[in-house]
Structure 1
Amino acid sequence: MDICCWNVRGAASSKFKSNVLDLIRTHRLDMLFLCEPRISGEKAISVVKTLGFPCFEIVDAVGFSGGLWLLWDDSRVHVEVVGTSDQTISACVARNGQDPWLFTGVYASPNAGKRGKMWDYLSFVAASHNMPWLIAGDFNELLAADEKFGGVLECKSKGFRNWVDDNEMIDLGYSGPKFTWNNKRVYARLDRAICNMQWRRLFPEANV
């Protein structure tokens, strides 16, 4: 099963559409989670419908900020959205007779106060189920000091690090470039996938 999580930083351009369609064709994606499309309402729906997925859930952007899209192919995977917030979409996922598991796509706010509310919400989600759980997306926060190069090292990882430790989550690591964001001066690993032990046992060979 292939899932892609991508911070697109705007989905209104023709370049976005050609890039995402190429990504879908290359990897034959079952699910696609997009954050920061920065468009809402009928415009968002019209763009989503051109991407080739029959099913989708949209959390609208606020003005030109944020937004979340979850798209999936229901002929290949069963997805039932169980909850949304301004920073997350959570869905129960099942495929080919496998046990169901929970997926949460994340776009954490760059604002530390708003991001703190997301950790509280995810703690509520954690307390509400006992399922294998995968969380992936843009967390806008570091887990360790060596995940940033350049600039001033801010005390920006405490909330995320504490939440991961308190909920016994596992960072799935990565292959490829270490840093997922840069402004040509500062480089950081803000995007990742984490899971609980139940999910890791269910998919021991899963990789990012």
Structure 2
Amino acid sequence: MIVCILETKLEVVDIYVILQCMGLSYDGFTYLPASDTRGGIFVAWDTTRVLLTNFVNDSHCITGYVSPKEGTPWWLTVVYGPQGDKSKINFLNELSERRSLSPGPWLVIGDFNLILHATDKNIANLDRRMMGKLKSFVDNNALKELFLHVRRFTWSNERETPTLTKIDRAFVFMDWELEHPECLLQALSTEYSDHCSLHLTLHEPMHVRRRFHFEKFWVKMDGFLDVFKEAWKCDPNISYPFMRLDILLRNTARALATWGQKEIENIKLQIAIANIVIMRFDCAQENRLLTVEERWLRRTLKHLVLGLASLERTIARQRSRITWLQEGDANTQLFHLVAIGRRMKKYIPSLTMDGRIITDQKGKEEAFYTAYKDLLGKDEAREFTLDLERLGIEPLDLSEQDAVFMEEEIWAVVKDLPSDKAPRPDGFIGLFFQKAWEVIKGDLVAAIHKLFLGNGRDSVD
């Protein structure tokens, strides 16, 4: 647990001030003294959970090395930006220099006294020159801003018609984000200040369910068709097309996921084990000649690593939202970042429904279900209708819309589906329907006919 307090207006901070403000558990601290009762920063932490060392005080920030009891160490910089434009430019240059001296995962957080986007202010009076300076600092240091939940702005001038800005923010380097994929940044109330407090948790359980993904490479593996045909079975007593198709797809997804995990297992673990064995052979080769069997195993493992790395990239590429990159542009780390990049932004920490705040996952699911169920409503008979002839509108001949879709038409649509992207939320991609058409076409056609013919008519075989 680390607490950062800005604008302390204190020239000296001692352990007694920390104990008065923070309590007995915060027994570690450092501070940046205020200048003529202006500014000032202090950072306090619980030494039983985390240690901060290598403190450096710059003009407007404190930098320290954070060593948690569990996890990878990282650099923390707490900032309180100055007011004047010249001082702000010097402040950003100072931060860039500090970054060059602090390699590795880095988090910089605090009051920058600068906005980054036009949407960070509720009025059109913008200093675009200084906005560009902050943007250049972010780009030049390859930083990413953590998404702020709950609020759009963090500061108010507290007037009757207030000016609102977002000047308190957190930036991270890519390595820090990879180490803390479940971090969550939230804005709290302003309490007695004109700023709102920022609350950053590093391990927020986001309850992301593992979704089924039909992997593109499965169709090239031996045994795929056998596993699929064995799984595509349903109780013959279930004749309703929608229920039957749903059960068939669920059974197939479960069987393919189990088979795929058994055949491939953990790709990262296999690569790591293979690299360890290759390194052992590399070290042995420096002192003696390898045997024929050792050379064969080393060569086989190198081919295995190459194949698994390509397979890992293929999986990440399939799940990535970036579709325009060419093969030569592929980068596994980039694709993994893209695949998980929106999870933190899309996460909903709490909901308010009927005046009640809901934070648990099950309660949020029920709230969404109830809200959308009420939104859709129920199908009821209309008491009134429109007389189109009286309005002078000629009715159209819609008899062709009742025509049954032919199997050839449905197959043409299936062939046009994107082969490596999921057109539906069940995780099956177009490649699955194309490869499995001969087996699934009967159930799929029956469900489509039932959908367009309506529940009051029999489905077409």
Instruction: Give the letter for the 1:192 counterpart.
Output: R
Q: How far is the alpha carbon of 1:159 from its aligned partner?
A: 1.4
Q: How far is the alpha carbon of 1:72 from its aligned partner?
A: 0.7
Equivalent residue of 2:170, what SS? strand
Q: Greater share of strand residues, 1 or 2?
A: 1
Distance in 2 of aligned mates of 1:81 and 1:105: 14
Structure 1 counterpart of 2:2: 31
Structure 1 counterpart of 2:137: 163
How many residue pairs match? The answer is 177
Contact 1:81–1:89 (8 Å) recurs in 2 = no
TM-score by length of 2: 0.37
Equivalent residue of 2:119, what SS? helix
Say whether 1:47 aligns with 2:17.
yes
Distance in 1 of aligned mates of 2:146 and 2:171: 6
Structure 2 counterpart of 1:5: none
2:43 to 64, 70, 76: 70
Equivalent residue of 1:149, what SS? coil
Equivalent residue of 2:10, what SS? coil
Structure 2 counterpart of 1:173: 147
Instruction: Give the letter for the 1:128 counterpart.
Output: L
Query: Which deviates further from its counterpart, 185-194 or 96-105?
Result: 96-105
Q: How far is the alpha carbon of 1:48 from its aligned partner?
A: 2.2
Say whether 1:101 aligns with 2:71.
no
Q: How far is the alpha carbon of 1:130 from its aligned partner?
A: 2.2
Equivalent residue of 1:82, what SS? strand
Equivalent residue of 1:157, what SS? helix
Q: How far is the alpha carbon of 1:196 from its aligned partner?
A: 0.5
Higher relative contact order (CA 8 A, sep 6+): 1
Contact 1:172–1:194 (8 Å) recurs in 2 = yes
Give ranges in structure 2 of 5+ residues lacking alignment: 186-461
Say whether 1:196 aligns with 2:167.
no
Contact 1:142–1:189 (8 Å) recurs in 2 = yes
Contact 1:179–1:189 (8 Å) recurs in 2 = yes
Q: How far is the alpha carbon of 1:188 from its aligned partner?
A: 0.3
Contact 1:67–1:86 (8 Å) recurs in 2 = no
Contact 1:92–1:103 (8 Å) recurs in 2 = yes
Instruction: Give the letter for the 2:99 counterpart.
Output: A
Contact 1:140–1:190 (8 Å) recurs in 2 = yes
Contact 1:134–1:194 (8 Å) recurs in 2 = yes
1:187 to 155, 161, 164: 164
Q: Greater share of helix residues, 1 or 2?
A: 2
Q: How far is the alpha carbon of 1:151 from its aligned partner?
A: 5.8
* Greater Cα radius of gyration, structure 1 or 2: 2
Q: Residues 66-121 of structure 1, C-alpha deviation per residue, up to 9 Å, x if partnerless? A: 00101111111011143111211111112123111001001011122112112111
Distance in 2 of aligned mates of 1:58 and 1:49: 14
Distance in 1 of aligned mates of 2:40 and 2:69: 30
Instruction: Give the letter for the 2:17 counterpart.
Output: V
Instruction: Give the letter for the 1:34 counterpart.
Output: I
Distance in 2 of aligned mates of 1:130 and 1:97: 20
**Structure 1: which 4+ aligned runs deviate by more than 3 Å?**
none
Structure 1 counterpart of 2:99: 126
Equivalent residue of 1:40, what SS? coil
Instruction: Give the letter for the 1:37 counterpart.
Output: T
Contact 1:151–1:186 (8 Å) recurs in 2 = no
What percent identity do the matched residue pairs reach? 26
